[in-house]
Structure 1
Amino acid sequence: MLFLLLFCFSLGITIHSHIFHRSTFINSANFISGGVYGTVTNISDYFSLKTYNNRLIDENIRLREELLKNGISEIDSTVTSSTDSTTNYVLHRAEVYKNSYKAPKNYLLINKGSHQGIKEDMGVITSGGIIGIVENTSANYAVVQSVLNTNSQINASLKNTNHFGTLSWNEKKDYRKVQLTDIPKQANIKIGDTIITGGMSSIFPKGILVGTVEKFTFNQSGNAYIIDVKLNNDMTNVGYVYIIENKDKNEIEQLLETTENE
């Protein structure tokens, strides 16, 4: 027993002090936990098929309505390929195997990884709005940092005015709300206003739904708002997600880095 205790202690030190060992440990843990949660999810999905089918039907209706508004009558039935050859974004579909929403730092585990083209810092959404950002990947799984994570910071804006700020989560609040800060006091804000992604980063395109304004106050200095945003997504019930790939992400980041270093 003493040998096992010392062995585990030394193994922990090795993992935390060496980048290669830590990376290998994370990938292995993702693989094992992904397999276990995959089996559990397959069983629970069997009893939730009607709910998922209704959601898919609703989403298809919304997509066709948007296509009709833009004068398009047909759409490619696959989600994994772009419907517009000129777009900079491609969507990948994935299933959620694990989801937390009550801890200070919440994560989701999805069943797509580097072998399927998923990379760190890709945005994750559903038909209802934003979910989070990919943080780590293994071959066939990925861990997503939830929007309900105290480390999460996402650019978002008021749809009606285009004033933008930082979307974060106060763990003392509940899982149905996030906070939008740094909105200047000149902005005309009303209860019920729509909050969307601001498009000021290479992760999320502009216009992805976040939620609606539920309450707002001034910060301590009195020059900016602190807004409570009611999430459009039900973060306790996330089954399938879309991962956003920005094909121009590397080019944009290299250009910004070059500019900042000048």
Structure 2
Amino acid sequence: MQQIIYFFIKNSYRLLFLLLLGISFALIIRSHSFHRSEYINSANSITGGVYENINSINEYLSLREKNELLAEENARLKEILFNKKDTVLDAKNLKYKDVLFYTVSKAKVIKNSYNTRQNFLTINAGTKDSIKSGMGVVNDHGIVGITEKTSKNYATIISILNIDVKINAKIKNSDHFGTLSWDGKNAGYVQLTDVPRLANIKKGDSIVTGAESKIFPENIPIGKIDKVFINKKTNYYTINVRLFNDMTALGYVYIIGNTEKEEIEALE
């Protein structure tokens, strides 16, 4: 307490000066409208900047929740898209009975390998989310892989960057199709084989999923033709396809369930 009293005594002149200075500024602001308006504007500018920064921080902290909501909305829209030939419809009037063939649910990739010859991913969705083995996995850019093993809360996915994966694919706007696989070399490219030489193809053409696939809906994007070779043994084309997806940076994905897959497989 004595130190506080000593501080005020020692700095009494300075404190008195600051007090008088503050009183004089207050009197000037109150008696002159120009100075008052300038003061208010300056105060508003400062507080506005503070509020803006606080709001930016709050928005940043809520990004995770917003991303979750967007992913859920994307899953619902993709479900509509995969089940309707005419996708121009009113989503609000869509009834569940209209969705006959494919179901779509969202998940997030929590582990991803891409530098071996047999790559896998792990997602944070499992049997409690109706995830089963053999379901197609895509994101907003194209195909990602096929579900393999599941637990209650998690599932593993065989990446398209896996030499054991074979997917039916075709040249967009064409009936010519082949088998999509990976040669285990470059994470940015896959190969489409067994395409007949009658097919009219050129560099830059899009490759999409084919109609014969029971895992993926038709016309899911895969990539663009980069190079074309002729296999001398089979006399068919082998096409190098540059992926639309960056398989080294995956976030949210969508798992596609074919509700009639088991019936088709049993019939065949």
Label 1:49 to 1:124 Cα distance change in 2 as closer, same or farther (>3 A): same
How many residues in Structure 1 have an aligned counterpart in Structure 2? 202
Q: Describe how 1:1-262 pairs up with structure 2 within 5 A.
A: 70-75=87-92, 85-172=98-185, 174-221=186-233, 223-256=235-268
Q: Tell me, in whole angstroms, the C-alpha distance in 1 between the residues paired with 2:95 and 2:209.
A: 20
Higher helix share goes to which structure?
A: 2
1:200 Cα deviation (Å)?
A: 0.8
1:72 Cα deviation (Å)?
A: 2.1
Deviations 1:191-239 (A, max 9, x none): 0101000021311111111111011110122521110101111111111
Contact 1:82 1:91 in 2 (8 A): no
Give the secondary-structure state (helix, strand or coil) at the position aligned to 1:115.
Answer: helix
Label 1:247 to 1:143 Cα distance change in 2 as closer, same or farther (>3 A): same
Q: Tell me, in whole angstroms, the C-alpha distance in 2 between the residues paired with 1:240 and 1:130.
A: 12
Q: Tell me, in whole angstroms, the C-alpha distance in 2 between the residues paired with 1:231 and 1:84.
A: 35
Deviations 1:52-91 (A, max 9, x none): 69x96xx69x97xx89x84424458xxxx98772430000
Q: Tell me, in whole angstroms, the C-alpha distance in 2 between the residues paired with 1:163 and 1:142.
A: 33
Match of 2:44 in 1: none
Q: Tell me, in whole angstroms, the C-alpha distance in 2 between the residues paired with 1:113 and 1:179.
A: 30
Give the secondary-structure state (helix, strand or coil) at the position aligned to 2:183.
Answer: coil
Label 1:50 to 1:94 Cα distance change in 2 as closer, same or farther (>3 A): closer
Match of 2:49 in 1: none
Structure 1 runs of 4+ off > 6 angstroms? 45-48, 81-84
Q: Tell me, in whole angstroms, the C-alpha distance in 2 between the residues paired with 1:140 and 1:71.
A: 35
Give the fraction of aligned pairs with identical amino acids, expressed as a percent: 44
Contact 1:181 1:224 in 2 (8 A): yes
Q: Tell me, in whole angstroms, the C-alpha distance in 1 between the residues paired with 2:184 and 2:158.
A: 14
Label 1:198 to 1:48 Cα distance change in 2 as closer, same or farther (>3 A): same
Higher gyration radius (CA): 2
Unaligned segments of structure 2, at least 5 residues: 1-59
Label 1:221 to 1:127 Cα distance change in 2 as closer, same or farther (>3 A): same
Match of 2:36 in 1: none
Label 1:181 to 1:151 Cα distance change in 2 as closer, same or farther (>3 A): same
TM-score, L = length of structure 1: 0.69
AA partner of residue 202 (structure 2): K
Alpha-carbon RMSD: 3.1
Q: Tell me, in whole angstroms, the C-alpha distance in 1 between the residues paired with 2:88 and 2:164.
A: 41
1:51 Cα deviation (Å)?
A: 11
AA partner of residue 248 (structure 1): E
